[in-house]
């Protein structure tokens, strides 16, 4: 075990994160080198660590947190409303499209140009819908933030 | 089963009120983390709100046998990045990592604290992250490993390097 590994294990010991097998290894190592300088390595850092733990950040007051929680709660509650509105809108749009098709597409009096325009519009909408659904499914499988490296 | 696990189980059954317990338990820690990433109190609060909402909506994907905070931290981190990108008009990632900690966010700024913050600001983004998780988020090695999705051994070596560099910087400054 080199000096760096000893320092890492000493750090873990200080943090109370050392496992029993690591503790045993460290103990054996330190027995073999009683004047090891690694032992003193973290001593000078202890004061800095204590100071770091004392650092307090300016945070919102209790009352502000309560108002903040209300905002979260309301947004969670509203979600159900948005789901219902969205489903309702989908049904209404689908029905309107169906009626439009029935009125214009299947009507022999509708000019051919309007029917062609409608057919192209519907095909375009289907392509967009499939594309959006596929994108959503792919994003669900992959972390959208994985390309962000700090 | 712990009290927290009980509340999370209730959330998974759709109980929104139980989520308030989770919110109150982690709000300050999470706010600090968001502040570190966004470097702006308002952005931190916006990202935090989105993170809590996203966590609640995805609570069924959370495994109650694991620690909650590392799972939530990942969501929070993503919400912070989204917030930064939204504000900075798709800013370069370099800009994000170059942002510094503002001593104005610290209560009772002593000279020692000031020196520590200056030294932390001089470290790399990777070093800053591991130090903030350890000292300002007070996470265990296991929780850090879960939050960063790295093995515990890597947490130990990264923390060792970050602390060593911080020590060197502080020694130079003295």
How does residue A100 score in pLDDT terms, banded at 50, 70 and 90? confident
Kindly tell me the burial class for residue B79, based on how many C-beta atoms sit within 10 Å of its own C-beta (0-12, 13-18, 19 or more).
Answer: buried
Chain B touched by A71 (CB under 8 Å)? yes
Nearest by CB to B93, which of A55, A58, A148? A148
Q: Is B108 left (phi over 0), alpha (psi -120 to 50) or beta?
A: left
The whole-angstrom separation of Cα B17 and Cα B27 is 15
E strand or H helix at B106, and its extent? strand B106-107
CA-wise closest residue to B148 among B162, B161, B134, B136: B134
- Give me the helices (H) in chain B, please: 3-12, 18-38, 41-57, 68-87, 93-98, 111-122, 125-131, 141-148, 152-173
Return residues 17-36 of A near B (CB < 8 Å): 17
CB contact under 8 A, B136 and A8: no
B57 to chain A: which residues are within 8 Å by CB? 76, 79
Residues forming a β-bridge with B107? A56
Q: Are B156 and A4 a contacting pair at CB < 8 A? A: no
Q: What are the tokens at B8? A: 């999370």
A81 and B CB contact within 8 Å? no
* Tens digit of each residue's pLDDT (9 = 90 or more) over B128-163: 889 989 988 889 999 999 989 899 999 999 999 999
Q: Which residue has the higher pLDDT, B109 or B33?
A: B33
User: Which one of B25, B116, B118, B132 makes the best mutation probe of the A interface by having the most chain A beta carbons within 10 Å?
Assistant: B116
Q: Which residue has the higher pLDDT, A15 or B92?
A: A15
Q: Is the pLDDT of residue B96 over 70?
A: no
- Determine which of A9-13, A24-28, B88-92, B163-167 has the lowest per-residue pLDDT on average: B88-92
Please report, rounded to a whole number, the percentage of residues in chain B having pLDDT higher than 90. Answer: 37
**Model pLDDT, residue B51:** 95
Structure tokens of A125?
Answer: 């909408």
Cα separation of A48 and B112, whole Å?
A: 8
Closest chain B residue to the Cα of A47, Cα to Cα: B112
Query: Which pLDDT does position A150 carry in this prediction?
Result: 42
Check if A77 contacts B (Cβ < 8 Å): yes
In this complex, the residue of A44, A57, A144 whose CB is nearest that of residue B35 is A57
Tokens of A48: 């800095």
A76 touches chain B (CB under 8 A): yes
Share the mean pLDDT of chain B: 85
Mutate: best of B154, B158, B160, partner A, most A CBs <10 A:
B160
For residue B8, the distance in angstroms to the closest alpha carbon of chain A comes to 16
Position B150 scores a pLDDT of 93
**A56 forms bridges with which residues in the sheet?**
B107
More confident residue, B98 or A91: A91
Q: How far is A85 from chain B (nearest CA, A)?
A: 18
The span from the CA of B174 to the CA of B92, in Å, is 35
Ranges of each domain in chain A: 3-54, 72-108, 111-143
Q: What is the least distance, in Å, from the CA of B67 to any CA of chain A?
A: 16
pLDDT at A7: 85
What's the pLDDT at B156? 94
pLDDT digits (tens, 9 = 90+) for B35-84: 888 888 888 999 999 999 999 999 999 988 888 999 999 999 999 988 88
Give how far the C-alpha of residue A92 lies from the chain's centroid of Cα atoms, to the nearest Å.
33
Cα–Cα distance measured from residue B119 to residue B103, given in angstroms and rounded to the nearest whole number: 12
Q: Do B105 and A17 touch (CB under 8 A)?
A: no
pLDDT of A47: 81
């Amino acid at each position: 075990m080199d000096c760096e590994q000893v320092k890492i294990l000493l750090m873990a010991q200080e943090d109370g994160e050392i496992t029993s097998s690591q503790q045993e290894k460290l103990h054996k190592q330190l027995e073999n080198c009683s004047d090891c300088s690694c032992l003193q390595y973290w001593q000078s850092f202890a004061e800095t660590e204590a100071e770091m733990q004392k650092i307090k950040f300016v945070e919102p007051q209790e009352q502000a947190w309560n108002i903040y929680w209300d905002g979260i709660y309301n947004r969670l509650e509203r979600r159900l409303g948005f789901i219902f509105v969205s489903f309702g809108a989908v049904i209404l749009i689908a029905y309107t499209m169906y009626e439009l098709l029935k009125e214009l597409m299947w009507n022999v009096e509708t000019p051919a140009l309007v029917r062609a325009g409608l057919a192209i519009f519907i095909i375009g909408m289907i392509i967009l819908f499939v594309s959006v659904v596929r994108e959503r499914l792919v994003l669900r499988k992959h972390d959208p933030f994985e390309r962000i490296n700090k | 089963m712990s009290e927290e696990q009980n509340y999370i189980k209730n959330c998974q059954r759709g109980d929104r009120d139980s989520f308030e317990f989770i919110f109150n338990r982690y709000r300050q820690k999470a706010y600090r983390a968001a502040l570190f990433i966004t470097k702006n109190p308002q952005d931190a609060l916006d990202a935090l709100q989105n993170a809590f909402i996203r966590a609640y909506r995805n609570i069924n994907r959370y495994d109650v046998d694991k620690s909650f905070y590392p799972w939530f931290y990942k969501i929070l981190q993503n919400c912070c990045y989204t917030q930064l990108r939204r504000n900075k008009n798709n800013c370069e990632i370099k800009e994000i990592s170059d942002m510094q900690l503002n001593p104005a966010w610290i209560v009772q700024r002593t000279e020692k604290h000031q020196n520590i913050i200056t030294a932390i600001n001089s470290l790399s983004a990777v070093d800053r992250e591991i130090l903030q998780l350890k000292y300002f988020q007070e996470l265990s090695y296991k929780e850090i490993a879960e939050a960063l999705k790295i093995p515990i051994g890597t947490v130990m070596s990264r923390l060792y390097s970050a602390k060593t560099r911080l020590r060197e910087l502080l020694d130079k400054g003295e």
